[in-house]
Chains A and B, each alone.
Chain A
Amino acid sequence: MISRKPFYTVVALLFLAGLALSLYRHFVFEVPWLPGEQRQVWSIEAKVEFEATGKPVKASLAIPGTQPGFTLLNEAAASPGYGLSFLERNGGTRAEWTIRQASGPQELYYRVNMMADPHAESPTPVAVPEIAPHTDQEPYATAIHQVLSRALERSSDGFSLTRELIRELGSQQQNAALLAQYRPKPRLLVEMLNRAGIAARVVKGLTLEDGRRRQPLVDLLQVFDDGRVEVVDPATGEPGQIENMLLWERHSSPVLDLVGGVNSRVTFSMIRQQQPVAVALEQKFEDSNLLNFSIHSLPLEEQALFKGILLIPIGVLVVVLMRVLVGLKTSGTFMPVLIAMAFIQTSLVTGLIGFLLIVSMGLVIRSWLSHLNLLLVARISAVIIMVIGIISLFSVLAFKLGLTEGLKITFFPMIILSWTIERMSLLWEEEGAKEVLSQGGGSLLVAVLAYLAMNNDLIRHLTFNFLGLQLTVMAAVLLLGNYTGYRLLELRRFQPLARED
């Protein structure tokens, strides 16, 4: 007896490979297991307004990038007459508008779509700012020293120091009032941290709220210590990701740099949208193609084609199940899959009615053809032409009657239909109507089951997004091909034998 070991090894390998690929897709590319999951996408618009002075204008706006919590999906800028470029500066990106000559009020727009994304990372590590030496005059120097030394006593690292500094400024009222005249609080905190040897900078954040207009940027602290970076709200001192807070500028640059204009102002408005995960992820991984081995990297048209192709193994699996485990007879092994694919195009009820109409009408005409004593090839060809005739007839009829659903009948694969009619009609002549009903019914039943499986949202989602599943289906088919147990219908067929004694 041949050893079955290699076989089971192959099956296990296929199964594991399929599983691993799917897990990889799920965890690395965040493809959810279930369809219909939505992601929040923020559309944020920055509006730059200023008075141009009639000279050449150069307006450079800091723009956000992918960062912890948010993935940049796409961006666009609009402003008639201006030249636009995106530049790298200090590790951050800036949008730069230029025009030879402009005067009067100007409006420049920049729009970005940001997806809320717990897995997002900054593409480049954030550069640690230098620690600048600071010298302060009295009485500020003393006040700073008092606050700092108290805070230093109670802290262990840069982040706890920040927290304690903010707390001290809250409790040492006098010093706080004094220092408030000296420096704005975020600047002051950065300088104090620098004195303690901790790198920090002020960054600009935008609080995201659905439907907000003219939202201002807020100052936040970015504290660097021990290889870590934390964003700290100077008001509370709590470190960590602040919910719905997008860092707009985080490279120690001004938000807006304007030459040739006065009275400038940047305001932000935003809306929140829900987008299906697939669309959002597609944009996210648009250019990381190397490991992103998925159908999503194909052009849209090919994707649509593949969506159908990837479902075929599911239909095939249904056929194998029905034949091997249940024991249903079908006319033509995989004809039900093709019928099921046609049903997907036509919708089930229309498809079933159409199929039955065409086949039964075909059988009637075919029975007449059989009197003509034709050669097989000629007869099949005649049946094909006849099927096309029937389909056209039904389409026109449906259209005239205003049943636009009926037009979908053209989705049926005609050659397949013709062979079905030919087979059924032979079956009828040779084995009688009963066998036609049993095999035709079996095929149709399997087709409907295959349709239900293939048209299922979850299965569509899984097959399309997890190519690894194809390997798992393969493993299942191989296993089924090795099943030596009874078929369901055999339990009935051999029932007279069990009744004995």
Chain B
Amino acid sequence: MALWSLPKFTRPRVLSSKGIMGMNRRNIDYISRYNPRRLYPLVDDKLQTKRIALASGVTVPDLIGTIRQQHQVRHLAEMVSEWPGFCIKPAQGSGGKGITVIVRHDREYYTKPSGVQETIDDLERHVSNILAGLYSLGGKQDVALIEALINFDDSFEGYSFEGVPDTRVIVFKGFPVMAMMRLSTDASDGKANLHQGAVGVGIDIGTGRAIRAVQFDQPVEHHPDTGRRLSELQVPDWETLLRLSASCYEMSGLGYLGTDMVMDKLRGPMLLELNARPGLAIQTANGTGLLPRLRQIEALNSSRMSVEQRVAYAREHFSIPVTAATPTAASAG
């Protein structure tokens, strides 16, 4: 009996005919081929990412400060006292590990998106853990970043539960090839990382509109906590967001890149972080495979194309009609 005759499995041939990219192919054919190892520190260390982003004029959330040494930990309260909300994260963390978001505080109680209140002692302990390398790869010593809270755009009201939704765009050789919005849920505790239970919504590259949504790799129609219909989601300022993502190629030098973008109420699209090994769930969220798009770009002589040209090319070629009723605006923007 072949394994794929089991109800929950599919045939390799079906997947490859749909151009679905597997982990092994991603690692060998894209990451190791297009991402030079020496550039990894630029994206694996959020502090460095911020630095190069600022240098090339890409908007990022404000940095309140960094804590590098254990004895600096007690300055935490004083550091954040003037900021209404903030976020503590390990510079070399990944996958949402070690991230604590504080939405408001009265200098005594610090409130997380879920409403849970923490004391400054709790936060200081958290920072100590970050410094000791608890959340970083291989347990290396790390630096804690204190970042200003992102106030997410009102248009996302009801789409995200207790947290900032972010938009993951896969940028291949500077072309935004596929996008997905990640909406935090009760399960993901204010963070928008998919394996922690955030909802992934495939976003049409051409229009910035939702295609379909998944949670834990299974299709969903409504946000599990707010109940909002996910198919109505439309990312505002889509062109700016795409250009910002596309420009990360020149900024980082990485050919196969995952950019995490957020929409701030006041400052518009911002770069949250870069990822040299972006995950594959974006395919499930979009209901389509990455490979045809990647191959199309590989076949293209794109070395002289500007950011605007690349975005225009992507919006024209990688747009999928959602339903017959809503025709795509392929060249909108």
Contact = CB atoms under 8 A, between A and B. Distances in A.
A373 B24 contact: no
A491 B4 contact: yes
Which of B10, B11, B97 has most chain A Cβ within 10 Å? B10
B329 interface: no
For the residues of A in contact with B, the DSSP-based class is: helix
Contact of B22 (A2, A490, A498): A490
Interface string A375-400: 11100000000000000000000000
A498 B18 contact: yes
Contacts of B288: 497
Interface string B87-129: 0000000000100000000000000000000000000010011
Nearest to B10: A498
Interface string A322-343: 0010010000000000000000
B139 A376 contact: yes
Interface stretch (A33-41, A161-169, A480-488): A480-488
Nearest to A484: B25
Interface string A453-493: 00000000000000000000000000000111111101111
Nearest to A1: B33
Contact of A497 (B3, B195, B287): B287
A426 interface: yes
Contacts of A426: 134
B154 interface: no
B22 A496 contact: no
Given A495-B8, A496-B217, A490 B23 contact: yes
Contact of A486 (B12, B134, B196): B12
Contacts of A496: 214, 217-219, 284
Interface in B198-217: 214, 217
B125 A373 contact: yes
Nearest to A325: B24
A492 B9 contact: yes
Interface in B224-270: none
A98 to B, nearest CB: 73
A130 interface: no
Interface residues of B, number: 39
Contacts of A486: 12, 15-16, 20, 22, 24
Given A376-B129, A430-B97, A496-B217, A484 B196 contact: no
A70 B43 CA distance: 70
A494 B133 contact: no
Given A327-B23, A484-B29, A498-B18, A491 B10 contact: yes
A423 B10 CA distance: 33
Nearest to A435: B195
A482 B24 CA distance: 8
A500 interface: yes
Contacts of A324: 24
B55 interface: no
A485 B287 contact: no
A286 interface: no
B324 interface: no
A431 interface: yes
Interface in A353-387: 373, 375-377
Contacts of B125: 373
B12 A491 contact: yes
B15 A498 contact: yes
Nearest to A498: B10
Contacts of A376: 129, 132-134, 139
B128 A484 contact: no
Interface string B28-48: 110001000000000000000
Nearest to A427: B97
A375 B22 contact: no
Given A376-B134, A426-B134, A484-B22, A491 B128 contact: no
A8 to B, nearest CB: 14
A218 to B, nearest CB: 65
Contacts of B1: none
A373 B33 CA distance: 43
B284 A431 contact: no
B14 interface: yes
Which of A377, A426, A492, A493 has most chain B Cβ within 10 Å? A493
Contact of A483 (B3, B24, B218, B289): B24
A431 B195 contact: yes
Which of B24, B134, B217 has most chain A Cβ within 10 Å? B24
A493 B217 contact: yes
Contact of A377 (B10, B132, B218): B132
A491 B4 CA distance: 8
A375 B219 contact: no
B49 interface: no
Given A375-B128, A487-B24, A495 B97 contact: no
B184 interface: no
Contacts of B218: 496
B15 A497 contact: yes
B167 interface: no
Nearest to B125: A373
B245 to A, nearest CB: 24
Contacts of A488: 3
B283 interface: yes
A81 to B, nearest CB: 72
B211 to A, nearest CB: 11
A431 B191 CA distance: 12
Contacts of A487: 22-24
Given A486-B12, A497-B283, A373 B128 contact: yes
A328 to B, nearest CB: 12
Contacts of B28: 482-484
Contacts of B29: 484
A500 B283 CA distance: 13
Given A491-B11, A496-B284, 10 more contacts: A327-B23, A376-B139, A431-B195, A484-B24, A491-B15, A492-B10, A494-B283, A494-B284, A497-B287, A498-B15
Interface of A: 2, 324, 327, 373, 375-377, 426, 430-431, 482-488, 490-500
21 contacts: A324-B24, A375-B128, A375-B132, A376-B133, A431-B195, A431-B196, A484-B25, A485-B24, A485-B25, A486-B15, A486-B24, A491-B4, A491-B12, A493-B284, A494-B15, A494-B20, A496-B218, A496-B284, A498-B10, A499-B10, A500-B287
Q: Which 4 A-B pairs have the closest CB atoms?
A: A376-B132, A498-B10, A484-B25, A486-B22
